[in-house]
Every structure is written in structure tokens, then in C-alpha cells.
Structure 1
């Protein structure tokens, strides 16, 4: 039996793309694809390993039809691709993978950011261990804010990973300027 959900339309025949190190997110289709927490969670999982719709549904506690639909949106936006196919019991099993190890959002949009934060919140809620969540507001000039963002990004990028048998930890880093309070009349 094929891994596709029977009610899901077949995916368009797109050629499998090789995984890239960095992918720049800058098209309307990509922004729209990022605007859903389940799609964000799919990207989290598929950045680490290839997986079928059934495997993703089980891991994310989601229905196969929902996973198939959201994978189709991600695939059409070029954010995931079919990394491998296997013949099983007369059907074809497709293994999906994120198109790039790292994604850089050129112009973050509120819907995509909210979806990502919602997905992170769901992951935190499901985390089997204590986690760290820190929010601090600092008064920084533009140069110091830029330096802090670069330092944090470098720390995350250069963090050395342990073996594949170790648990996965998510790291979310952002440095943003808080909007000023509105002038009171």
C-alpha cells in the first residue's frame, strides 16, 4: 500500500532537489508555506532525517491526510523534496527531506513568525526534559544589537553536535528591536 493518504491528491511530479546548506526564503509561496505550525514542525523533523508521511504523522501525532496536505504545500514552495522512493507492497513509499539544512528568511512576516513560535511552543510542551526559555529586553544601540545577533548566530552555527544516537535539541535565537510605545495624546 502506498504511503499517500487515499483522499490526498497526488503530489506534482517535481524533480528531487539536492539538499542545500542554506536556502533563502523570499517568495510569496514560501512565506505562505511557513504560515502554519504543522508545516513548521514538519520542517523541524525533516531537517534532521528523511521520513514518510506515515512516520511524520506518528511522530507529530497528526493525521496522515493533514501531513500529506502540508507536505504538498511545502514541496510546491520548494522547502521539501522527495529524497528517496521505495517500492513496498505494490506501492511507492516516498521519503521527504527538507531542501536545506538552514533556512534564512529574507523578510520575516508576522504569520510565519507566529506559526514558528506556535510550533516551538508545541515542541516545548512535548519536551521530555526541562528546557530553557529566556526573554530579556536590553537597551542597545544598533551596532551592539548587530554584534549580539552575530555572536548568537555564530554560537549556534558553530555548536558541535554529538553523535546521531543523541537526543535532538531545538535552539531558537532572535534579536529584535521592540516597537516603541505609541505616543499618547
Structure 2
């Protein structure tokens, strides 16, 4: 039995920076995003992914080839099952780094980076009835802080996301963790006494 604390169950790089528009095009498709998220749990065959996604094996196989060609997934092991060699796919990196502020990468391939965030927000706020009683919550806070401190907070957020992604697998429900740090156009009060 695989060590459940080792998530996923194969070796992969910590991060991969997306530098090619083909990588953006490959990753930012709803089905392919779901595939790479599933592969954070463990390596999987086309058949296993198809069952988890409720899609035909041929469709999932096509999406895996697109991801493989873009360098985002790879075959991490094979296993002989009767007369067929089963191929197990895994991600090439735990985290795919991209810059949502780099609009040229997205616009050049007809993608809207805001659409990805909208997708996650919709998923978080439109829960089916049977999931509404489970632990969940959203909140927002604003603070006027120096850029250097914002950079430190961003790193802490990334560390929290990484810790969440490495949590041993169990239970029957997949939870999501959505966090963000962003500059705003909100105003702020002057320092005390500045207007007197």
C-alpha cells in the first residue's frame, strides 16, 4: 500500500514556470485543469481519470496527450495488466507558475485569466445542497502595508497552499482552498493630524 503521507506517489519537481503559450493553452482548459489536479493525489491511468471525470477514455486520452506535449504531465510508470501495458501519468511539477498579469500570454491564445478566478469562485459559492453543511467559509480583509510586507505575505500564502496540497488523502469529499493577495484601488485615511 502506498504511503498516504507522500502526495503524490511519484517524484516530481516542486515548480515549473510556464513560458510557452502552448503551455497556457494546454493547462487552461476545464478538463485538463481537473486532470492535473487529480494527478496531485497520485499517478493515474487514462481509465482511472476517465472514471473520476465521468468522460470517455478517448477524450481523456486526447487531453493527456495535449498536456504531455506541453510538458505538464508525463508517464511516471507502467504496469503489465494482462496483455496490455498500463501507463500511469503524473504531473511534471507540484506547482505550475504563471503570471496572471501577463495578459499577452492569455490574450494570444484567446484566454481570459479572470475567467479562471471566476471559475473557482463559482465553484466555491454554488455548492450542491448535500455539501452546504460541510466546513467552508470565505472572508476578505484589507490592509495598507508596504510592498515588501505584501511580498512576505504572498510567500506565506503559497506555503499554506503547498501545505494544504500535501495533506494526506482521506475522506469522501475533495475540498478546495482559494486564497489571494492583490493590490487594490481602495483609498486610505491620511496619517493622524495631517489634515488639521
When residues 117 and 166 of structure 1 are mapped into structure 2, their CA distance, relative to the original with a 3 A threshold, is same
| Structure 1: distance between partners of 2:137 and 2:36 | 21
- TM, length-normalised to structure 2: 0.66
Root mean square deviation of aligned Cα:
3.3
Counterparts of residues 150-165 of structure 1 (less than 5 Å): 150-158=155-163, 163-165=168-170
* Map of 1:147 onto structure 2: 152
Structure 1 gaps of 5+ residues are: 1-16, 181-185
Structure 1: 4+ residue segments shifted above 6 A = none
1:150-169 Cα shifts (integer Å, max 9, x gaps) = 23223333469554445653
Q: Which has the larger radius of gyration?
A: 2
Q: Give matches, 1:116-127, under 5 Å.
A: 118=119, 121-122=122-123, 125=127
Report SS of the residue matched to 2:112. helix
The 5 Å alignment of 1:102-121 reads 102-107=95-100, 109=106, 111=112, 114-115=115-116, 118=119, 121=122
How many pairs are equivalent? 164
What is the CA distance between 1:73 and its match in structure 2? 0.9
Contact 2:120 2:178 in 1 (8 A): no
Unaligned residue ranges in structure 2 (runs of 5+): 1-9, 187-196
- Correspondence for 1:169 among 164, 175, 178: 175
Task: List per-residue Cα deviations over 1:99-153 (Å, max 9, x = no partner).
Answer: 1122222455453563475367558747856253525262535524333322322
Q: CA deviation at 1:38?
A: 0.9
Structure 1 stretch displaced more, 128-137 or 60-69: 128-137
TM-score calculated relative to the size of structure 1: 0.69
Query: Aligned match of 1:20 in 3, 13, 17?
Result: 13
- Which residue pairs with 1:52 in the alignment? 45
Residues 64-106 of structure 1 show CA distances to partners (whole Å, capped at 9, x for unaligned) of 2221111111111100001111222322211111111222224
Where do residues 84-103 of structure 1 align in structure 2 (5 Å cutoff)? 84-103=77-96
Cα separation, 2, equivalents of 1:148 and 1:88:
48
